[in-house]
Chains A and B, each alone.
Chain A
């Protein structure tokens, strides 16, 4: 089961500058490959909550 949320461009810069974590690593790799530019994307987070809590 999945839940989504999103991060606006204004939040993404903060995420990129955070130390190692999945979201920042993902964004840094896209930036490195010139697939995105600063402030020009919305990050969609997809969270799988456990069903047996």
Chain B
């Protein structure tokens, strides 16, 4: 394992003292330098802050992994319950779960309802109506939610077919609190940063339709949705065509210690929570599993898609990335017909031992007979703050 540091070149400005003979020429030169300085200042203020980038290379060979018994990799396993024994707790489908501050939040995306339970599993309340909204069709009521842990809010995003330009804030007992302005951007995935600001990822879909380039933006707003910073830490891709949608994998973890961003057909995963110091994990794969370099700048080519279909072992990218202490959990995407998707879930130890553990190959033992964490499309995941997050495809 090696660590590389990337730095952004400093902009240095030369100070000139005009002499009498060449005063006009030097004056113009000075003016030019001042213009450059002013432009640089404007550019920097627009971009926000200079971003330090750090890369951690991970040698990942999908065929060289370890299995283990649950005893060998776990300290303990315990269980608790969420009780569904009242008429208020008829859940049709669990799309998203979070546990925070002694509360459990479950979003049912069929009924478009957010259920709230206490940490002991008892029903507390549910959010099923947004003030002033009378949904007429599915996907008009509630689209999703996030938790603002510091201020103890459930922030609810209205449905896809709802034209509202606001979010709705509820307190943990399900009571409506206030309306939060929505930033003037297209559909955006967002999180709450440790400082209480909102960090948005701007969906590139609309941009892609307009242009051959996709620009990824991270926009940080304060609690009043005033723009605080505009980060642009991602590379610009030259294509949009793709086999799989990775949209749901953006902001995969929200434990305030790491929020990961994954990219299309990329072996880089960036931890973007601390936008001023983005840590990127760069997976180095054997050639057999890698995207050939000839496709590096030509990822929308038909030949590129055909290559993937013919070479099932090639890794498309990474998803479901979570860092828990020294353990990095992730899922590798392949087209392999021989390997079930569930076998592509791994744990990589970041403590220097370079241990690569296949989560599918953790064997039941006395400590736990059940390791159902990693299905085809289901997974964990949570971290210290007690956060569960699953998707069912």
Q: A41-B121, A53-B349 are in contact. Are A5 and B380 (CB under 8 A)?
A: yes
Contact with B along A25-38 (1 / 0, CB 8 A): 01100100000110
* Chain A positions within 8 Å of B384 at CB level: 1-2
Partner of A21, one of B73, B81, B369, B388: B369
CA distance A41 to B387 in the complex (A): 19
Report yes or no: A48 in contact with B74, Cβ–Cβ below 8 A. yes
Contact with A along B314-358 (1 / 0, CB 8 A): 000000001011110100000000000000000101010101010
CA distance A1 to B325 in the complex (A): 6
Give the contact-size bracket for chain B.
35 or more
Most B Cβ at <10 Å: residue of A1, A2, A26: A2
Partner of B380, one of A4, A11, A18, A36: A4
Report yes or no: B84 in contact with A1, Cβ–Cβ below 8 A. no
Report yes or no: B326 in contact with A51, Cβ–Cβ below 8 A. yes
Q: Does B5 contact A (CB under 8 A)?
A: no
CA distance A47 to B367 in the complex (A): 10
In the complex, how many angstroms separate the beta carbon of B159 from the nearest chain A beta carbon? 24
* Chain A positions within 8 Å of B379 at CB level: 5
Most B Cβ at <10 Å: residue of A8, A37, A42, A52: A42
* Chain A positions within 8 Å of B386 at CB level: 2, 4
Report yes or no: A46 in contact with B80, Cβ–Cβ below 8 A. yes
* Chain A positions within 8 Å of B75 at CB level: 48-50
CA distance A40 to B78 in the complex (A): 19
* Chain A positions within 8 Å of B351 at CB level: 51-53
* Chain B positions within 8 Å of A37 at CB level: 85
CA distance A52 to B385 in the complex (A): 20
In the complex, how many angstroms separate the beta carbon of B357 from the nearest chain A beta carbon? 7
* Chain A positions within 8 Å of B94 at CB level: 6, 8, 42
Report yes or no: B82 in contact with A44, Cβ–Cβ below 8 A. yes
Q: A3-B373, A46-B77, A52-B351 are in contact. Are A9 and B324 (CB under 8 A)?
A: no
CA distance A7 to B370 in the complex (A): 10
Report yes or no: A49 in contact with B380, Cβ–Cβ below 8 A. no
Q: From DSSP, what is the main secondary structure of chain A's interface residues?
A: mixed
In the complex, how many angstroms separate the beta carbon of B386 from the nearest chain A beta carbon? 7
Q: Does B226 contact A (CB under 8 A)?
A: no
CA distance A22 to B353 in the complex (A): 31
Report yes or no: B370 in contact with A41, Cβ–Cβ below 8 A. no
Partner of B381, one of A3, A36, A42, A46: A3
Q: Does B127 contact A (CB under 8 A)?
A: no
Q: A40-B85, A50-B73, A53-B351 are in contact. Are A2 and B324 (CB under 8 A)?
A: yes
Partner of B387, one of A4, A21, A42: A4
Q: A48-B76, A49-B73 are in contact. Are A23 and B81 (CB under 8 A)?
A: no
Q: Does B377 contact A (CB under 8 A)?
A: no
In the complex, how many angstroms separate the beta carbon of B123 from the nearest chain A beta carbon? 11
Q: Does B368 contact A (CB under 8 A)?
A: yes
Q: Does B383 contact A (CB under 8 A)?
A: yes
Report yes or no: B83 in contact with A40, Cβ–Cβ below 8 A. yes
Report yes or no: A3 in contact with B73, Cβ–Cβ below 8 A. no
In the complex, how many angstroms separate the beta carbon of B388 from the nearest chain A beta carbon? 5
Q: Does B79 contact A (CB under 8 A)?
A: yes
* Chain A positions within 8 Å of B357 at CB level: 53
* Chain B positions within 8 Å of A8 at CB level: 94
Report yes or no: B324 in contact with A49, Cβ–Cβ below 8 A. yes
Residue of B nearest to A44 (CB): B80
A sample of 10 inter-chain contacts (CB < 8 A) reads A3-B322, A4-B387, A5-B373, A15-B370, A26-B79, A36-B85, A41-B82, A42-B82, A49-B73, A53-B347
